[in-house]
Amino acid sequence: MSPERISVEASEHVLLIGLNRPAKRNAFDLQMYQELGQALARLQNDAKLRCGVLFAHGEHFTGGIELPQWLPFFRDGRMPPLPADALDPLAREAEHTLTKPLVIAVQGWCLTIGIELLLAADIRVAAQDTRFAQIEIKRGIFPIGGATVRLVQEIGWGDAMRILLTGDEFSAAEAYRLGLVQEVVPPGAQLERAVNAMEDWARCNPDHFYSVRPLPAGGAR
């Protein structure tokens, strides 16, 4: 097994979950995808934990997926399998979805699966230097992690189609204008802002508060 791709640290009632493959711009190989699912399951199952923060080590949130590992599954029209003790990081099925609040902090490149992780979270904080793009169309593949449904729900048909059909890059300021992120902060401040928000929330709110994420109708497409 390669070194762990995900760092996990509990801070009082908050679980900090970090993408930890900075030398590869935190590109998602299958190991990272599976470990993230297991980290979310830990958050779900630990009664002491009330909420989570997903962030990334290094300069970039994620450069997307490590395509050669994912293509065999895409060709069969399916997602890679997850371990039995994992939740779905993309929240595509209710029975395998985190129900505790999750805030996500992004910086640098946030491509493909990075946007789909944003769409599966509750609150999104971006550094001013974040660059977003849903570039599957430029690779001749389909955004299979829920973006084709959730982007429309979040930002409306026209803007969602512009992002999905062109694969063009857009800025943190544009993501804020569209409602894809709720706050834009100076570079380097995104994690602290996300953690402070969740720590304050966790101290003030009851254990039984749950997040109810809207699922893509008929499953992710």
**Cα–Cα distance, 66 to 37 (Å, whole number):** 17
Q: Do 124 and 180 contact (CB within 8 A), yes or no?
A: yes
Backbone angles phi and psi of 106, in degrees to 5 = -125, 155
SS3 content of the chain, % helix, strand, coil (to 5): 40, 20, 45
Supply the residues annotated as catalytic: 116, 136
List CB contacts of 106: < 8 A, sequence separation 6 or more: 55, 56, 61, 114, 118, 124, 125, 126, 127, 130, 181, 190
- Other beta carbons within 10 Å of 73: 14
CA atoms within 13 A on the CB side of 215: 15
**Cα–Cα distance, 189 to 74 (Å, whole number):** 36
**Cα–Cα distance, 210 to 51 (Å, whole number):** 9
**Cα–Cα distance, 37 to 165 (Å, whole number):** 29
- Check residue 167 and report its DSSP letter: -
